[in-house]
Amino acid sequence: MPLHGERVAKSCRTKVRTADQLCRKELDFFKAVLAQESDVTVACTQEAPLFAEVAEDLGYAGRLTFANVREQAGWSAEAAQAGPKTAALLAAAAEEMPPIHAVTLESKGVALIYGCDEVAIDVARRLAASLDVTVLLSRPGEVTPPHTTDFPVVKGTISAARGHLGAFALDVDDYALPSPSSRRHYLWQAPRNGASSTSDIVIDLSGGVPLFPAPEQRPGYLRADPRDAAAVERLIGEAGGLTGTFDKPRYITFTADLCAHSRSKITGCTRCLDLCPTGAIVPDGDHVAIDPAICAGCGQCAAACPTGAAAYALPPVDALLRRLRALLTTYAAAGGTGGVVLLHDGEHGTALIDALARFGAGLPAHVLPLQVNEITQAGPEVFASAIAYGAAGVAVLGRAKPRHDLLGLSRTLDTVRTIVSALGYGDDIVRLIETDDPDALAAGIARPFAGKAGAKPSTFLPMGTKRGLLEFAFRELHAAAPAPVDRIALDKGAPFGKADVNAEACTLCLACVSACPTAALSDNPDQPMLRFTESLCVQCGLCEQTCPEDAIALVPQLDFVAWREPKRVVKEEEPFHCTSCGKPFGTRSTIERIAAKLEGHWMFSGANAARREALFMCEDCRVERVVNESFDPYGAPARPQVRTAEDYSPAATSPAAKPGKDGLN
C-alpha cells in the first residue's frame, strides 16, 4: 500500500511522518510525536483504541484524530493513483468537529409486558428478577394462571401510546383485574375503558401492529413476534439491561423564533411534520416542538427546514461543510481531477466500503468518501457546496431497504438536479445508490457522472446558520456554473421562491407583513409601502393564506437577480391625511374605497350627511366629531316587518282576512 507521504505533505502543508508498524515496533515513535505536537492525525482506524489508550496514559492534552486511508484509498486497484485522495482524507479528518451534546434518559426498570398468551407471562417470569414487571393481556384466550402471583397480570388493550424510555404513558381500554378464584384459566372482573398506565419500558409481544411509528427507533420500546423464539430471547437479553441512566445524542437544535409553522392559527410550513418517521415533532402554537428523547436522528426535518429553525447537530451543517471543503480543495491542490463525493453513514456505508476494499477492487482513486451520521441529514446546501467546490458528482449510499422513508432526501435530490442541470453542470451529477452489495456499489460508482465542472471552483469558508449557508452555497454554485442563468423554475415545496403580489388587489393592509416569519415581506414605517426580499422567502405560504384580498400567490423559483436586489417595492401609495388635523393615516385608495361603499347609507345621508366627513379623519378626530355631533343611534329607518309562516297560510291570504277600507278586518 503506497503512502504518498511527499504529496500529502505538500498539499496539506503540514508535517507528515510515515511508519511501517506504528502500532507495534514503532509505538515509541508515536509517543515521541505526541510529545512534540498539539494536534495529531493518525492515518489508521484499526488501532485507534490502542493509540487513544497510549495518549491517555501519557496525559496527552492535544487533539487526536484518525483517518481511514487503508480501506478507503490504499486497498484499491487504483492505490498508486490515490495520492490526492489520501491527502484529502487526512485534511478532512483534521477538521475539528464540535462536541456532541447528550439527552439523558432515566429508567427505574418498571416494565409493561404486552401480550395475549402464556408467552408474555413466561417472559415476565424470566425478567422479574431484574425488572418491576406487569403483564397486560389483550383479548386473551384460556390462559392458565401461574401457581404464585409474583407479578401483576391484568387484561386490557392499548388504545394509545406516548413517550419513551423512562416516560411511557399508555391508554388502556377493556381493562379488568383477574378474579382471585381463577382455576383452569383466568376469569376477569367487570372491564372498563379509559384506564391509564405509565412505565419505563414497554415490551410488546402482542404480535399485532406496533404501538409507535418507526418502532425499532423508539428508545425503551421492545417488540418481537411471540412465535419467533430466537427474537423473544434477544428481546429478553436487551430488556434486562434497560435500568439506569442512559445518554443519547441531541441530534437537532431548534430555534422556535425562526419556525414558519403557523401564525394567528393559520398553518404554514409543515415540512418537518410531514417527514418525521418517529412522531417526535408535533405542532405547538406558532411553531413546532421536537422531543429530543424520541428523535432518532434521521435529520430529514433539518434537511427540509427552509428557515434553519431545525438544524442538525451531529455535526452542525457549517462543520460538515468545512470538512467537505477540506476534502475537495485538498484533493484539487494535490493534483486530483474529477473527484466524486460519496456520502455514506457509519453503520451501513462504512461496512460496505470495507467489504469492497477487502474482497473487491476497492474504491476508485477519484471517489472521495465522506461519512455523515445519516444520509438523510444532507440538505440542498451540502450538494450545492460540493458541486461549487468542484466535485464532478455526488453519490449517496443508502440501504437496499431503508430504515425509514427517504422522501425528504428524494425531494432534495430532485431540487438539486433541477438547479444544477439548469446551470449547465449536467443532468446526472447527483445520484442515490441503494444497495447492500459491495459489487453493486462498485457498479454504481463506476458508471460515469455526466456532469461538467465549473470554470473556477469556489473555495468559500462555510460560516453561519443553516439558512445563510443555504443561500450562500447556491450563490457560489451560480458563480461557478458552466452556463449560468438568472432564473430557474422549481417544483412546489422548494425552499426558494417569490410571493407574487397582485398590486391592483392589494390594499396595503400589511397583514402579510405580520404573518411573514422571515421578514421577506416588510413595510416602510414612513410611508404606506409593501416590500419583498426574495432571498428571504421560504415559501411557507403564510402570507398567501393570511391575505384577506387573495392578492398573493407563491411562485417557487430561484431568481439570482432578485437575490442581488435587497428589497423590491411591490406596492406603495401616498398616505391619506386627516382633513381635520393633517395627520397621515391609511392610504388614499383605502379611504376612498370605504367612502364609496358607504355612499347612501342611512348613517351618512339625510340628517346624518355631515357624519360622512368623519370617514376622512384620523381615529382621534373621528371620535371627537362623533361625540360632538349628537348623533341619534335610534335614527335608523324602520326595518321590514318580520314575516312568519302564518303570513303564508290560506287563512291569512283569503279575501276575508284582508283589511277593509277602514283598516279593520
For residue 633, name the pLDDT band (cuts at 50, 70, 90).
low
Q: Quick one: average pLDDT of 570-593?
A: 84
Cα dist from 421 to 429, 453, 553, 653, whole Å? 8, 12, 26, 78
Q: Which of 487, 58, 71 is nearest to 50 (CA)?
A: 58
Strand, helix or coil for residue 417:
helix
pLDDT at 635: 62
| Predicted local confidence at residue 659, as pLDDT | 52
pLDDT at 470: 95
How far is it, in rounded angstroms, from Cα 19 to Cα 29?
9
Q: What is residue 664's predicted lDDT score, i.e. its pLDDT?
A: 42
- Residue 1's pLDDT band (cuts 50, 70, 90): confident
Q: Which residues pair with 245 in a beta bridge?
A: 106
Looking at residue 163, its pLDDT comes to: 97
* Structure-block grid coordinates of residue 412: 432534495
Average pLDDT of span 620-648: 74
Share of the chain above pLDDT 90, in %: 75
Q: How many CB atoms lie within 10 A of CB 17?
A: 14
In CATH terms, are 252-312 and 497-572 the same topology? yes
Q: What is the pTM of this model?
A: 0.87
Residue at 505: amino acid letter: A
Answer for the pair 172, 156: CB distance below 8 angstroms, yes or no: yes
Question: Lowest-confidence range among 51-65, 123-137, 536-550, 645-659?
Answer: 645-659
Segment 281-293 shows an average pLDDT of 96
Alpha helices in 64-222 (DSSP H): 83-94, 118-127
pLDDT tens-digit map of 638-661? 777 788 877 777 765 565 555 544
Q: Poorest-confidence range of 321-325, 369-373, 559-563, 593-597?
A: 593-597
Region 244-260: mean pLDDT is 96
Q: Is the peptide bond before 315 cis (omega within 30 degrees of 0)?
A: yes
Higher-confidence residue of 400 and 614: namely 400
Query: Which sequence spans correspond to the domains of the chain?
Result: 5-98+315-452+464-477, 104-247, 252-312, 497-572, 598-665
Q: What is the CA radius of gyration of the chain?
A: 35
C-alpha cell at 511: 397583514
Mention the CATH class of domain 497-572: alpha beta
Q: Where does the pLDDT of residue 632 fall: very low under 50, low under 70, confident under 90, or very high at 90 and above?
A: low
Q: What is the C-alpha separation between 35 and 189, in angstroms, rounded?
A: 74
**How far lies 19's CA from each of 16, 152, 170, 328, 517, in Å?**
10, 64, 59, 26, 57
Tell me the mean pLDDT in the region 541-551.
Answer: 95
Q: 62-74, pLDDT tens digit by residue?
A: 999 999 999 999 9
- 81-98: average pLDDT: 94
Instruction: Please report the pLDDT score of residue 582 as a whole number.
Output: 84
pLDDT exceeds 80 at position 397: yes
Higher pLDDT pick, 477 / 623: 477
Q: Report the pLDDT value the prediction gives residue 619, as an integer from 0 to 100.
A: 85
Percent of the chain with pLDDT over 70: 95
**SS3 letters for 375-413?**
HHHCCHHHHHHHHHCCCCEEEEEECCCCCCCCHHHHHHH
- pLDDT top residue among 655 and 519: 519
Looking at residue 13, its pLDDT comes to 77
566 against 104, higher pLDDT: 104
Domain 104-247 in CATH 3.50.50? The answer is yes
| pLDDT at 413 exceeding the cut of 80 | yes
Tell me which of 3.40.50.300, 3.40.190.10, 3.40.50.620, 3.30.70.20 is the CATH number of domain 252-312.
3.30.70.20
Q: What is the arithmetic mean of pLDDT over 360-366?
A: 96
Half-sphere exposure in the Cβ direction for 502 (13 Å, CA): 10
What is the mean predicted confidence (pLDDT) over 282-300? Answer: 96
Residue 617 vs residue 415, higher pLDDT: 415
pLDDT value for 137: 96
Exposure class string for 276-289: b at 16+ Cβ within 10 A, else e: bbbebbeeeebbbe
Distance of CA 524 to the CA centre of its chain: 33
Cβ-based neighbours of 70, under 8 Å, separated by 6 or more: 1, 43, 44, 45, 46, 357
- Asked whether residue 507 carries a pLDDT value surpassing 70, the answer given is yes
Q: What is the mean pLDDT of the chain?
A: 91
